[in-house]
Amino acid sequence: MKTGTDPDLDLIQSQLAEITATSEDGDHLVLLDQVDIIRLSGEVVPAQQASGYLGLGEWEGSHPCSTDPTCVLWTHVTTVADPMSETELDKLVNRASRPTLATLYKNARSKGLVPASPQGYF
């Protein structure tokens, strides 16, 4: 998962946390509504592209999930055009230990982006 001082990072994470949920089978992170992500620059990007950016740190190179078109789980929507070396595969596996939806939700809630609900959301 991308880290650092990118001003879009928190904004994208909070937007994705608000519009996604884990699929019933637990294999995908699906969009609750077909919406796009807005960057600080005002540019509107597809949720899949924003998710790919969080995982790879690049705005290009993402494609829809092959089994669920509403999935925005970055490991399902990104691709690397060139064959990967073993070291690159190891790096990709390490990146796959990304925060869960619950972690994204907690981060958004701690920043006041998601209000606390006494009834809960689930």
Cα-Cα-Cα-Cα torsion 49, 52, 58, 63, nearest 10 degrees, comes to -60
pLDDT surpassing 60 at residue 82: no
Copy the structure tokens of residue 111: 């920043």
Helix axes 47-56, 7-19, angle to 10 degrees: 130
How many beta carbons lie within 10 A of that of residue 12, not counting itself? 22
Q: How many whole angstroms separate alpha carbon 73 and alpha carbon 59?
A: 15
pLDDT bracket for residue 55 (50, 70, 90): confident
Q: 1, 4, 18: which is closest to 113 by C-alpha?
A: 18
User: pTM higher than 0.75, yes or no?
Assistant: no
Over the stretch 108-117, which tens digit does the pLDDT of each residue have? Answer: 777 777 766 6
**Burial of 74 from C-beta contacts in 10 A (0-12 / 13-18 / 19+):** buried
pLDDT surpassing 60 at residue 63: yes
Instruction: Determine contact, residues 87/80, Cβ cutoff 8 Å.
Output: no
